[in-house]
Homo-oligomer: A and B are copies of this chain.
């Protein structure tokens, strides 16, 4: 499969591009480049202009933020097939976090200038993008109301399910970071995880969580 075709597949998996036609996807894919990073190399830092969209071809990128106390907290992991910077490529605003390669990584790069001039030549695609952004705005505001008002177990279950999508049943994350993800204290996260461990829903090890029963976790996440 050509590099471009591979990138098209990744785009297609992202909700933001999923509804575009094969034809349009292919023309966007033709704009892409690739970039290699060695482990630990910095892709961008907070404050850099957001001048591209990235797709992970292989390897891993960590999205992290330098906390005020000097410690670093990982906000997200992007693995093979993940796309990030969809918004930045469109509006060029500053990056709001740092991105570093967690291992040797190869990225697809779609540069802002290339994408914008493409949109200018293809107003129909631009309108399509507008509609997708609108969907995202709606989706966000639904989630906003819904999600944060949920009790901690629900938020935690949702996050774990989401992580399971990316990493399978063995999620490599500290309870501290999990707390940051769901907006809760580390101790509260720990207590909830302990409760689930007693119910054989999962198992705990230093720095990782083994998910045994995704089904139950999903039920909790739905909060029915």
Say yes or no: B91 contacts A130, CB within 8 Å.
Answer: yes
Q: DSSP majority for the A interface?
A: helix
Determine whether A14 belongs to the interface, using a CB cutoff of 8 Å to chain B.
no
Chain A count of residues within 8 A CB distance of the other chain? 32
Given A137-B137, A140-B141, CB of A120 within 8 Å of CB of B123: yes
In the complex, the 3 A-B pairs of residues with the closest C-beta atoms, listed nearest first: A91-B134, A148-B148, A123-B123
Given A119-B123, A124-B120, A148-B148, CB of A133 within 8 Å of CB of B130: yes
5 A-B Cβ contacts within 8 A? A90-B134, A91-B130, A121-B123, A133-B137, A145-B183
A101, B131: Cα distance in complex, Å: 28
Report the copy number of this chain in the oligomer: 2
A121, B133: Cα distance in complex, Å: 20
Determine whether A87 belongs to the interface, using a CB cutoff of 8 Å to chain B.
yes
Chain A 66-101, CB-CB to B under 8 Å as 1, else 0, gives 000000000000000000000100111100100000
Determine whether A126 belongs to the interface, using a CB cutoff of 8 Å to chain B.
yes
15 other contacts beyond A90-B130, A120-B123, with CB at 8 A cut-off?
A87-B134, A87-B137, A90-B134, A91-B134, A91-B138, A93-B138, A96-B138, A120-B124, A126-B126, A130-B130, A140-B141, A143-B144, A144-B148, A148-B149, A149-B183
Determine whether A135 belongs to the interface, using a CB cutoff of 8 Å to chain B.
yes
Determine whether A116 belongs to the interface, using a CB cutoff of 8 Å to chain B.
yes
A119, B145: Cα distance in complex, Å: 31
Determine whether A136 belongs to the interface, using a CB cutoff of 8 Å to chain B.
yes
User: Contact check: which of B93, B124, B129, B149 meets A130 at CB < 8 Å?
Assistant: B129
A150 to nearest B CB, angstroms? Answer: 11
Say yes or no: A130 contacts B126, CB within 8 Å.
Answer: yes
